[in-house]
Amino acid sequence: MKKGKKIYEGKAKIIYSTSDKDLVIQYFKDDATAFNNQKKSTIEGKGVLNNRISEHILSKLSQIGIKNHLVKRLNMREQVVKLVEIIPIEFIVRNVATGSLTKRLGIEDGTILKEPLIEYCLKDDKLGDPLIAEEHILAFDWASKTEIEKVKKMILRINDFMIGMFGGVGIKLIDFKLEFGRLTSNGKKEVILADEISPDTCRLWDSVTDKKLDKDRFRKDLGDLIPAYTEVAKRLGILHEQSNLSVVNVTKLSSIKRKRK
């Protein structure tokens, strides 16, 4: 399988075509953005960690029957994924109130929700990904009623699984964002999980100290983002104790190689 042309570039990832029309390569950048691109930076090693963490979580989800786009990780920054037609909705799942929910509705930060809350945002950077109702999705045909019902069922299973997975390693899953896409096979369309699940797209707090182990370290200028993401990877068993420096070393090595070219 050969890597082809860039077909899409988002804020944190690039999608390349491949010699197989059904597969694409998803490349994880080191770029970090927040508040709809108003705050930007490059954090060396972030893409490497997100690639590994997302691969780990999506593989585990496959094992419990959640169909998703991951085929296999190729290298430190790239994975082969199935080409899907992305549904233009960001599905936000919340277990504890924080972030935009507390600002929007005046709910106290840290309030435990009695049930997971699913919110929908239209995936449109120009409009700042506005919050929308399920009725908007149906009114403008962004997804069908059947697709939404299927997605909601998958979301609740994903949430239950991830609460357990992170809970087992001393991390609280506060909230996260998911994206889904339509996969066409044998002329039929099926909705599957796509994009990434990583500390860029989740809020993860240490169970004992409430220390933030996610992109809020960048959003709120808390610093030490790489050590926090590395901590998540280590606790999930992806990186081993002594490999603390290896992510940074590999990133440095690959940038040296790039400069030499």
Euclidean distance between the first and final Cα of the chain, in Å? 23
Asked whether position 176 contacts ligand TMP by CB under 6 A, the answer is yes
The piece of 67-75, 137-145, 200-208, 222-230 that touches ligand TMP (CB under 6 A) is: 200-208
Task: Give the whole-angstrom CA distance, residue 255 versus residue 84.
Answer: 31
Asked whether position 202 contacts ligand TMP by CB under 6 A, the answer is yes
**Residue number with the smallest Cβ distance to ligand TMP:** 99
Which residues share a beta bridge with 175?
94, 203
Q: Binding ligand TMP by CB under 6 A: which of 100, 243, 244, 254?
A: 100
Per-residue x/- track, 103-142, ligand TMP (CB under 6 A):
--------------------------x-------------
Q: Where are the beta strands (DSSP E) in 57-170?
A: 70-73, 78-82, 85-86, 89-96, 112-122, 131-132
* Lookup: tokens for 218: 């960048």
Q: Which of residues 66-95 bind ligand TMP (CB under 6 A)?
A: 92
Nearest to residue 91, comparing CAs of 225, 181, 16? 181
* Lookup: tokens for 26: 């998803």
Asked whether position 203 contacts ligand TMP by CB under 6 A, the answer is yes
* Interacting residue ranges for ligand TMP, rule: CB under 6 A: 92, 99-101, 129, 175-177, 201-203
